[in-house]
Amino acid sequence: MEKEGINLEFWDKIKYIISNPTFFFERIKDEESIWKSLLMYIMVGAFFSFTGFVFSNLFMTFLTRGSGLRMVSGFFMGGVGYSFIYFFIFGIIATFVYSGFMHALIKAFKSDKSYKDTYNVYTYSMLPYLALSTIPIIGYFAIIYSLVLMVIGIRKVHNLSIVKSILVCLLPGIILFLGLVGLLIILLWHLFSNFSFLIFPLGL
């Protein structure tokens, strides 16, 4: 018998993750690999990254039309284009890193589910953020919605309490943020130490 969890098609997943996330995660919790969620992440991310780049390009062209800023606009849009590419690639890598941190916490809470279950929850939950992140202002709030979906998904797939699900979804972000801040402080400290003799000559 075909597993119930793998019957949803692409547009069904888009529909249900927005309209009925509890039902959605119930249906996809039996997917046997990460490939469907990863492919969907790549497709949605590539489409909206390209769309965001095109609209940014059109907007800058409109602003600089008939002015002497064409060259500046070209350099700016070239940078924006590369930024979209870099952030898209970084986002794919982040799906593995962040879900890995999440799964470490999940194992600490004694869940018997595998890493692919955690990965699928994370990746599917990030789809609304991918779709809305290119919209000014709204994009900043889209990550909150994706986090809410993530909590629902972790609770449904791993059978954890709401408190544990929230911790699983938020703690990795907090740890990674604090780690990056600590790394930045260390780098600035070493940079200041190496060049302090230029700022304070003769030990003054």
The parent domain of residue 53 ranges over 4-193
| Residue 162: per-residue pLDDT | 94
CA separation for the pair 118, 104 (Å, rounded): 10
Is 201 within a domain?
Answer: no
Is 203 within a domain?
Answer: no
Is 179 within a domain?
Answer: yes
Tokens standing for residue 62: 């409109």
Low-confidence ranges of the chain (pLDDT < 70): 1-7, 52-86, 136, 194-204
| Residue 73: per-residue pLDDT | 46
The count of domains in the chain is: 1
Is 62 within a domain?
Answer: yes
CA separation for the pair 167, 100 (Å, rounded): 14
Q: pLDDT tens for residues 7-30?
A: 678 888 988 998 999 999 998 888
Query: 47-76 b/e with 16+ CB inside 10 Å = b?
Result: ebbeebbeebbeebeeebeeeeeeeebeee
User: Do the beta carbons of residue 102 and residue 157 sit within 8 Å?
Assistant: no
Is 124 within a domain?
Answer: yes
Tokens standing for residue 20: 């009925």
* Global confidence as pTM: 0.78
